Amino acid sequence: MLEAKEITFKVGEKVLLDKVSVQFEAGKLNLIIGPNGAGKSTLMKVISRQLTSYQGTVSYNHVDSKALSDKKLAQMRAVLSQNIDLAFPLKVWEVVMMGRYPHFTDAPRQIDRDACKAALEFFDVMYMAERDYLTLSGGERQRVHFARVLTQIWHPIPNQGRYLLLDEPLTFLDIHYQFQFMHKLRELLKEKDLVVVGVVHDLNLAAQFGDVIHLIQNGKMLASGTKYEVLNSENIKRAFHLEPVIYNNKEKGSLHLFFE
């Protein structure tokens, strides 16, 4: 489990997160939603330890993240950030192998090469392995980075969890690859030691794929729970200032939102 307790984060006098407490369970797809500027990415940076000057506690499997070494954390926690910029003409497989850097010192071992190959195949980018990364489109680069972060935590760690943190992973993807990626996450979650947390903007994608949805507004956790508990008219009007039309079929497990 990944847990944040009473997280407050400020920039100057501006409060970006205000006593946010949230739990992310293994084996479930945890999705964070909210309007622009709500604090979604700030929360992701706090729980991933990209930001450390916060009040409160972030725990990985009941261990304070600040007590973990950089190497130890990197071996079990992979992060896909919003803005990734590589300026060197690396081959795609070399970019993906970067995910294994926390696991070896001088040269990749067979276990690292196996993880790289498996991640390339899992995200259907093996055919690009020898291509120059700089020649790829935005969507192709994003898919390569999916493989990179997954190869970082490809192998289970005895008596520990693995954590995949995704800040707006659907950026640059067309609708086909958005759905493909979400289905891939569902497939990954068959691994019960894996905690997956993602920030998404599309409420219908959140409704279709999310097991647990966390709605942030103005730096506070407005609601957490199932799609039926979180994606209701009251919460959506309060957070997004829109009046939704909600089609709810609990028998089929479907919920769709429309806006006029």
Q: Hey, what domains does the chain have and what are their CATH numbers?
A: 2-83+156-259 (3.40.50.300)
Cβ atoms within 10 A of the Cβ of 182, count? 22
The pLDDT score that the predictor gives to residue 44 is 96
pTM, to two decimals: 0.95
Give the integer Cα–Cα distance in Å for 9 and 26. Answer: 25
Whether the CB-CB separation of 142 and 86 falls below 8 Å is answered with no
Backbone phi, then psi, for 10, in 5-degree steps? -125, 150
Which residues 6+ apart lie within 8 Å of 132 measured at CB? 89, 90, 91
Whole-number Cα distances in Å, 111 to 17, 38, 144, 229: 40, 41, 19, 43
- What's residue 160's pLDDT? 85
pLDDT of residue 84: 79
Q: Give the SS3 label for residue 89.
A: coil
DSSP 107: S
pLDDT at 158 (0 to 100): 84
At residue 176, the 3 state secondary structure works out as: helix
Q: Distance between CA 56 and CA 65 in Å, rounded?
A: 11
Q: What pLDDT was estimated at residue 151?
A: 97
pLDDT at 76: 96
Q: What phi, psi does 259 have (nearest 5°)?
A: -130, 135
Looking at residue 86, its pLDDT comes to 83
* Predicted local confidence at residue 87, as pLDDT: 81
Per-residue pLDDT of the chain (260 residues; tens, 9 = 90+): 999 999 999 999 999 999 999 999 999 999 999 999 999 999 999 999 999 999 999 999 999 999 999 999 999 999 999 877 788 889 999 999 999 999 999 999 999 999 999 999 999 999 999 999 999 999 999 999 999 999 999 999 888 899 999 999 998 899 999 999 999 999 999 988 999 999 999 999 999 999 999 999 999 999 999 999 999 999 999 999 999 999 887 777 789 999 87
Rounded Cα gap, residues 31 and 216, in angstroms: 11
